[in-house]
Amino acid sequence: MPLLLLVFIIVPIFELYLLIKVGGIIGALPTVAIVIITAVIGTWLLRQQGLATLQRYQTNLGQGKLPAMELVEGLVLLFGGALLLTPGFFTDAIGFICLIPVTRQALIRRLMKYAKNHIQIRTVHMSEEQGHVYEGKSRHHPDDLLP
Cα gap 136→95, rounded to integer Å? 39
Give the residue with greater pLDDT, 115 vs 137.
Answer: 115
**Residue 38: is it exposed, middle or buried by C-beta count within 10 angstroms (0-12/13-18/19+)?**
buried
The pLDDT score that the predictor gives to residue 137 is 56
**DSSP letter at 141?**
-
Model's pTM, two decimal places? 0.74
* Residue 40 one-letter amino acid: V
- CA proximity to 11, closest of 97, 84, 88, 111: 88
| Summary mean pLDDT of the chain | 85
CB atoms within 10 A of CB 18: 16
The pLDDT score that the predictor gives to residue 3 is 78
Q: pLDDT of 12-24, one tens digit each?
A: 999 999 999 999 9
- Of 28-37, 60-69, 100-109, 122-131, the one with minimum mean pLDDT is 122-131
Q: What percent of the chain has pLDDT over 70?
A: 80
Give the residue with greater pLDDT, 116 vs 53.
Answer: 53
pLDDT at 87 over 60: yes
Q: pLDDT of 94-134, one tens digit each?
A: 999 999 999 999 999 998 888 888 776 666 555 555 555 55
